[in-house]
Each structure stands twice: as structure tokens, then as C-alpha cells.
Structure 1
């Protein structure tokens, strides 16, 4: 019997998305548990950073959704809450066979949990510690992609102690531009700035998330995403998905996670040559950054050329999520997809 730790929640603004992902994942893992000999140990990291271990039977999706109440009502939920330094030891004592990380953004995609699991020699799903940290750090990831000859938007960085000189960003990047936290996801803290007077509020929104931000030249065009999945030593590249947000909006938090707000078309209705170019760029970005297991690469394409926007090493796994849609277009069910994640799980010895 392989004990699977499903780690979710976390301290980032994407906390709720992580809970939704974990609920879907728990239900899908239940489907493949008998054939694979799996048992589930959900571990919820609350907003204060405490690790809350579920100690009962396999919880339902609804019970996972109530995770914020677990440690507040221990009389109703079979849980054990531990600080991190004890939680890692608990995982070792429980002989966790693999950790499935479903925390998005800071604290999940930034390499810290991955590094801790490396030290504990617990295999985990997805990208390793160093590449996770790189992929989430947008300015440095852009530098690596640029060095690899991949197309990115013109950008510049700013730290919170330099906010008074922020107008220099406009000189470097130009308007319109996109202001975003250097480390984060789900479009939290992201603002499109079209006029100079919009700059200061946009900076404040980004600095509320991170102490460093990136200003990126606004690239217009159609939005696309491509999933990457490791399987049997090879790399599966999903069909291209086109993302069509509501008219006049970009693909923001609500557009990403509210059912029916945006349209996604898989496979995208685009010329075969463009589709192949997007899939090739996604695979090249995955390899350049050093990703493994699975990821999703977001791009935008005008009539002239595509541009890589970002790499998501732990993309969402909710009802509206894009990677499962791409996998389904290849005939891969959600539970099969999670099986591939488990098969590629490993830790780094250093």
C-alpha cells in the first residue's frame, strides 16, 4: 500500500483555488486507488502555515472543501495540527510513499516544500526545488527563456524600496504595460496600465503580494496555453487550448476560476502551423527551465509571432482547469492524468 500525502491550502492568495484542486484530486485518486494500492493522507496547510493532518478515512470532496474548519473544530474532524518542523517528521514516521503537492503560488510552487521533501527523501509530484523556484520567479525565468532564444515580452523589475522612481519603468517598457508580482499566480495582483496615472495603484496592488514586481510590455493577441506531461520517460504535449475571456477583460482571477465566464476551445481553431509552433515553444520552455512531471505554458500570439507569458509548474486542477482539458483532448482521463503524475514522482538527492 502506497501512502499518498495530498498537500494543499498554503499561505498564498491562491489558497481557495488549492482547496478546490485538492477536492477534485482526492475524488479522482479514489478511482485509481484499488488498482494502484493507494491510501490517502490529506495534509492541509492553513493560512498561518500550520500543517493539519487528516487522520480519518478517505475524505470526500465536500470534506476537503471544509478544510479551513478542520483545526478550528477538532471535535468534528479527525485531524492533528502540527508546526512544520514536526510535520515533516510525521510524514517520515507515517512512511509517506509520495507527496502530491497541490499548493499554487508562494509556498507551493516556489521550491520550498520541494526542498524540504528532498531532505526527507520523500518523492513528490512535479518539478524539483530549483526549477520550481525559477519558474515562479518571473523576472529570472524570463531571463532564462531569453537566453534560450525563446520569445518573451520586453520587461523591467522594481523592488518596493524603489517605488518613488517607478516612472522609469514606463521609459523602459512603455505603455500600455502589465504590472505583476514577481512571484505569484492566478493573476492575483496583476493590473494592465494604459495611462500614467494608473501606475501607482497598480504598483501598490502588486507590492501587496510581493516585494518585487515586474513590468511587462502589453502584448496583444489571442491567448493560448499548452500542457506538458511526462509519461514513460517521454514528454506528452497537449493540443493547444485557446482562452477567450469576456470582451474587454483579460484572463484574470474570476475569468480563470468562475465557470462560464471565459471560453476555452480545445483544440484551438488555428492553423496547423501555428499550433505546432505553440506546442514546440511550450516544450522548449519546459526543458529550458528544467521542469519535470507536468506543467502548463501560457502564451499569446498576434498575427506576427507568439510570445511566452509564463510557466505554471502546479497548474490548477479544478472543474475549469486547463491542463486536464488538454489531457482529455488526448483521451487521457483526469484519474489517468494523476496516475502519470504519481509515476513521475521523485526527490533530488542534491
Structure 2
């Protein structure tokens, strides 16, 4: 008898479709294992389970079960692949904590902290990480573009403070662009982060605690023809080169992996996380932390898993085994 596992995807953010693509890949990886994956699609209006025949059934949120025809499905664990709210901000984690269902990602407190880029960076700065200088704006705040540029310099990265990193992000190169960029970021949320530009090569590194050991995966370098690694660069074929393992010396690779593991411990992470860095040839500066990284076949983490000599299926099974044993 297979163990029923919920693969939770969708969500309320602009990254909903990417989340569903990640979920489809995770489910494919688990098909021939001891686990029976069920897609649980979370939207503004409802939570629904999709059967293997494509039929939809409602989820009872009181106990996280579903009647699929005459069969009652009681999920034993949840694999969270919701990008943005409520999968990365701690809301789903708090729900599962209350009803006693184990889940794959960081806990509610860690998720809430890492989802707020400003607070997370201030904490990580106190832990010794090098991060960009920044200003946070709340909806309704007034700002002086001249003062912002004087303080942060140009270019300035403007992005939603809480949310994914793909939507509402602008690289502002001229003063006249700043107001529009801030307004665009406010379309994605209630808070906006304006950060000083950090030049250099961009790298990303995943990490996971499994088999009793914290492991950092091989590093990926991201090279894009775009101004920065935005939504188009991430998801449009040919817009970026992703080199795994990255062309770094063994010492540089070890340094970024050590920083990623230090970050994992500092934030008390669980499951798979990904840390993004900028490297100017001297210092690895932290860009941001992603506690629910993408899991499509071409996403960074699957690339790094394969480069490390594992299969995606073996890693997913290890995560679920650890949750349930």
C-alpha cells in the first residue's frame, strides 16, 4: 500500500503557474516510489485535489483529508512547492503545525523571516554575511527619489519586499525611472525594497539536510543577456546560460558552499533551500534566500542534484522518509 502524500502547489501569487509546473515534475519523480503523490492545488477560492483521472475534489481543511469518490484520502505528509504566499511566508507551515501534518519546507518562523527580504538581510548581516545596502518602503509612504539615489547610488534594484524574485523587479539606471519602478513593485505587494547595486558574477547554491548530514550541492553560475536574472531570463529558453558546476576554483566553490551551509544553520532551515550570491572576485555577497526553490526539470536545484550524482527521485524520497520516520 502506497503512502498518500500531498504535493501542494498553486498559491495566490504571480508565480502560481511556475509552482504548478514544479509540482508536475515532483509528482512524476515520485510515480514509481513507495509514495502516492496527489496534487493539491491552492487558489484564492478553494483547495482541491486532482485525481489521476483529472477529476477534482475538495479538501477538508479541518483535518487535511479529501473524499476522492468513495475513497477517503488522509495525507501523511505535505511537500510544499508553492512559490510566494502562502507557501513561502509561513502561513501553510503554521496550518500544518496546528493539525500535526509534517511538511517538507522550513518552519513557520523561518519562512516568515526569509519571505521578508529586508528583515532577513538585516538578520543575516548581523550573522556576518555581506548584503546590499537597502531601504524599505511601505504602501502609503512618501519617498524622495533624489535622496534615495544619493543614499544607494545607481543602479538601484527595486523589488517587492515580500514575495518571489521574478515579478515586479526593476533595475533602475536613471533617476527618472525610480518612481515608476517603485509603483510597479507595489503592484505585487504592500512593501517595496530598494537595494544598492552589487556588480559581479551571479551564483546560486542549494543545500539540504538529509541522511543525518547538511549537504551543499554543486554551484550554478547564471549568465544572462538580460539586465538581470528576471522572469524572462528564468523561464524563456535561450535567455540565460546556467552552468553547473560553475567555473570556479575548488577554494571558491568550497567558500560558497560553506556560506550556504552557514546560512542554513543561522536561519534554522529545513528541506531544500537555495542561496543566491554575487561575486566580484573577492567577496561573495548574498542576494537572497529561497526556501521553496523551483523544481521543474530545468530548475537550478534539479541541475545541482544531478551534478552531485543523485537523482531527483532519490532526494525527494529521502526528504519524505525523514519526515515520516
Q: TM-score range by the shorter chain?
A: over 0.9
CA displacement at 1:112 relative to structure 2: 0.2
- Report the secondary structure of 2:12's partner residue: coil
Aligned partners of 1:173 and 1:217 also within 8 Å: yes
**Are 1:222 and 2:201 matched, yes or no?**
yes
Q: Work out the CA distance in 1 between the residues paired with 2:285 and 2:273.
A: 17
The equivalences for 1:188-267 within 5 A come to 188-246=167-225, 248-267=226-245
Structure 2 segments unaligned to the other structure (5+ residues): 67-71
CA displacement at 1:179 relative to structure 2: 0.6
Query: Quick check: 116-125 or 224-233, which moved more?
Result: 224-233
Aligned partners of 1:245 and 1:261 also within 8 Å: yes
CA displacement at 1:269 relative to structure 2: 0.8
Matching residue of 1:89? 63
Distance 1:319 1:259, change over 3 A: farther
Q: Work out the CA distance in 1 between the residues paired with 2:221 and 2:172.
A: 24
Alignment TM-score, normalising by the size of structure 2: 0.93
Aligned length: 319
CA displacement at 1:232 relative to structure 2: 1.5
Matching residue of 2:10? 9
The equivalences for 1:168-179 within 5 A come to 168-179=147-158
Q: Work out the CA distance in 2 between the residues paired with 1:344 and 1:260.
A: 37
CA displacement at 1:52 relative to structure 2: 1.1
CA RMSD, 1 decimal = 1.8
Matching residue of 2:69? none
Matching residue of 1:323? 301
CA displacement at 1:226 relative to structure 2: 0.5
- Report the secondary structure of 1:87's partner residue: coil
- Report the secondary structure of 1:180's partner residue: strand
Q: Work out the CA distance in 2 between the residues paired with 1:191 and 1:345.
A: 39
Matching residue of 2:269? 291
Alignment TM-score, normalising by the size of structure 1: 0.87
CA displacement at 1:166 relative to structure 2: 4.8
Q: Which has the higher helix share?
A: 1
Matching residue of 1:303? 281
Structure 1 segments unaligned to the other structure (5+ residues): 60-76
Matching residue of 1:79? 56
Q: Work out the CA distance in 2 between the residues paired with 1:161 and 1:177.
A: 21
Matching residue of 1:104? 83
Distance 1:198 1:344, change over 3 A: farther
CA displacement at 1:19 relative to structure 2: 0.8
Aligned partners of 1:295 and 1:312 also within 8 Å: yes
**Are 1:314 and 2:292 matched, yes or no?**
yes
CA displacement at 1:325 relative to structure 2: 0.7
CA displacement at 1:25 relative to structure 2: 0.8
Query: Quick check: 172-181 or 10-19, which moved more?
Result: 172-181
